């Protein structure tokens, strides 16, 4: 009886790879691949969502809400300094968006248009509450002229890691309403003095003065925070 270890029978051939040479006229057979679930489709881009939302697609509007709600809430929170009010204003902003989305023409980025809509909602809310959008002392006195050498550098919001971000947000929230609005709109949202003056219905000089005083108050508040040796508030 022959030992199977030393069988003279040739081994069974392995399946030939597709790339191996074939006889003339022979058709290649693709290897069988285990079936896998189909890949999920990529989410639609914002442009598609906008078009669908304008056409009344509620699911598309819900996706726009998910994309932008955190940024809008953050903006409202900075402007009013109250979490409950910021939540209500965020909801109001998206209600306004639902009514006005058909008016968006794409002249600017949608996020910019949304920010402007949220700012208008907040300002209208503050006016209804009877809160002055500029501080009363600023309304009663002219904006002081700054002399060379007496200007204060703006706060560097990066602060080289020396100031805790939450502490900075608390300091901004503690500013008087008029100072806070000027600071948020200019130093955080990037609007220029003329745009802010138009939003707040005041003079450019008042905007500059409020912004200057807001920075002074923030710097004073941040100086009082405990810091590690060698850390300091950075100016620019």
Residue 35 forms part of a structural domain: no
Residue 196 forms part of a structural domain: yes
CATH number at residue 75: 1.10.1740.10
SS3 35: coil
10-51, pLDDT tens digit by residue? Answer: 445 444 444 445 555 555 555 554 555 444 445 578 889 999
Q: So what's the pLDDT on residue 159?
A: 46
Q: Are residues 117 and 164 in the same domain?
A: no
Do residues 90 and 72 touch, judged by C-beta distance below 8 A?
Answer: yes
Report the C-alpha gap between 28 and 97 in whole angstroms. 58
Which residues, in sequence order, are bridge partners of residue 155?
235
User: pLDDT exceeding 70 applies to what percent of the chain?
Assistant: 62
Q: So what's the pLDDT on residue 165?
A: 73
Report the C-alpha gap between 143 and 165 in whole angstroms. 31
Do residues 28 and 18 touch, judged by C-beta distance below 8 A?
Answer: yes
Out of 96, 131, 166, pick the residue that ends a domain: 131
Residues in the chain: 236
Q: Are residues 193 and 120 in the same domain?
A: no
Global pTM exceeds 0.85: no
Q: So what's the pLDDT on residue 104?
A: 92
Report the C-alpha gap between 53 and 47 in whole angstroms. 10
Report the C-alpha gap between 122 and 77 in whole angstroms. 10
Residue 27 forms part of a structural domain: no
Do residues 140 and 203 touch, judged by C-beta distance below 8 A?
Answer: no
CATH number at residue 167: 1.10.10.10
Do residues 216 and 222 touch, judged by C-beta distance below 8 A?
Answer: no
Name the region of 224 (left: φ>0; alpha: ψ -120 to 50; beta: rest). alpha
Q: Are residues 172 and 119 in the same domain?
A: no
Residue 8 forms part of a structural domain: no
Residue 101 forms part of a structural domain: yes
**In the chain, how many domains are there?**
2
Q: Are residues 90 and 163 in the same domain?
A: no
Residue 94 forms part of a structural domain: yes
Q: Are residues 104 and 163 in the same domain?
A: no
Report the C-alpha gap between 44 and 12 in whole angstroms. 52
Q: Which domain holds residue 107?
A: 46-131
Residue 52 forms part of a structural domain: yes
Residue 24 forms part of a structural domain: no
């Amino acid at each position: 009886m022959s030992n199977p270890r030393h069988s003279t029978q040739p081994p069974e051939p392995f399946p030939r790879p597709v790339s191996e040479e074939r006889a003339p006229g022979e058709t290649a057979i693709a290897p069988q691949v285990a079936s896998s679930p189909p890949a999920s489709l990529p989410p639609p881009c914002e442009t598609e969502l906008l078009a669908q939302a304008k056409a009344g697609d509620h699911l598309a509007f819900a996706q726009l809400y998910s994309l932008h709600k955190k940024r809008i809430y953050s903006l409202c929170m900075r402007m009013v300094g109250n979490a409950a009010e910021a939540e209500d204003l965020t909801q109001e902003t998206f209600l306004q968006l639902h009514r006005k989305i058909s008016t968006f023409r794409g002249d600017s980025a949608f996020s910019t248009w949304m920010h402007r809509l949220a700012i208008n909602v907040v300002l209208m809310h503050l006016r209804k509450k009877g809160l002055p959008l500029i501080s009363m002392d600023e309304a009663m006195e002219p904006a002081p002229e700054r002399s060379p050498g007496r200007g204060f550098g703006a706060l560097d919001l990066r602060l080289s890691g020396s100031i805790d971000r939450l502490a900075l947000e608390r300091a901004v929230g503690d500013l008087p309403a008029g100072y806070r609005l000027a600071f948020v709109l200019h130093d955080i949202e990037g609007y220029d003095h003329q745009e802010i003056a138009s939003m707040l219905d005041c003079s450019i000089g008042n905007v500059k003065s409020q912004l200057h005083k807001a920075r002074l108050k923030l710097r004073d508040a941040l100086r009082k925070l405990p810091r590690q040796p060698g850390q300091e508030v950075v100016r620019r």
